[in-house]
Amino acid sequence: KPNKGNISFLEKVISSKTNTVPTGERNIGLMFQEDVLFPHFNVFKNIAFGLKSKNKEVLVNSFLNKFGLFDKKDSYPSSLSGGEKQRVSLARVLITNPQILLMDEPFSSLDNNLRKEICDYTIETLKKNKMSVIFVTHDVEEALRISDKIIILNKGKILQVGSPKNLYRQPITKYVAQLLGSINQFETISDEKGNLVTPFGEVNCNISSKEANSCKERTHFCVIRPEHIKVSGNGVKAKIVNRYFHGASWAYKVFLRDELPLFNITNCKLEFKKNEEVMIDAECKNILIFQE
């Protein structure tokens, strides 16, 4: 029982100090991080477990066909692959037609290629079934790939809520910016007019505060993502300190000048040698400014 507060679902209190709705009556589905299939049940019985109806065969067989598991109906979990186990787990949840599904890092135990394949299959299936899902993950790429809305939590507090695109492009804190992807950051002090000088041009720091005067002559943190820095014929001179081959593109670590940190550049289609001098540039609109 909770020490304080209530948990409500669809305007009905399901958990409080005085009232608790039994788990089986909440109509909430749950997929765990761990493999929780019953080892002594075959695939058919695992999927049918949550059904109260006696005439289960037709419905279970339809789900076996839908999830490509019909030829595994008599198999036991020990003989299934990781992907097959996840499909059985998903079928077992969806067959009960829950009003909402809670997923606790359900793909973290799978290898990377299988993880993306099963994740995409699962989310596509859930969207077809118009299922509302709360999905817990520490994998930022996974969150950006599958979410309609993301909630960023830190130490129990909500920092920001929004679409993946808005959170990535318009983080309200440096913590959120860094959490959602790689960043380059450097410090600079605004002048009396509230302007900041960056290697790529001058920007006004008033955008980081509702009170314009609070920006003047203060230290600010400028953040720019590696993919927003381009190697071009214009801009500022830089030297390639290191390079990394990513298959379809190159990533570089470059030196500009002593008072600045090394900058990372990604998604570059051009190949350069170590210690080679290049020109780099970035649009000032892509520079994020924070006072923290």
Phi, psi dihedral angles at 126 (to 5 degrees) = -65, -40
Residue 142: Cβ within 10 Å count = 18
Under the banding of pLDDT at 50, 70 and 90, the label for residue 250 is very high
8 Å CB contact between 90 and 31: yes
Under the banding of pLDDT at 50, 70 and 90, the label for residue 273 is very high
* Amino acid 108: pLDDT: 78
pLDDT one-digit tens code per residue, 47-67: 998 887 777 889 999 989 988
Does pTM top 0.95 for this prediction?
A: no
Closest CA to 66 of 88, 48, 82, 45: 88
8 Å CB contact between 180 and 142: no
pLDDT one-digit tens code per residue, 169-228: 999 999 999 999 999 999 988 887 778 889 999 888 765 545 555 677 778 899 999 999
- Say which amino acid occupies 5: G
Mean pLDDT, the chain, integer = 88
Calculate helix-pair angle for 57-66, 82-94, nearest 10 degrees: 140
* Amino acid 161: pLDDT: 97
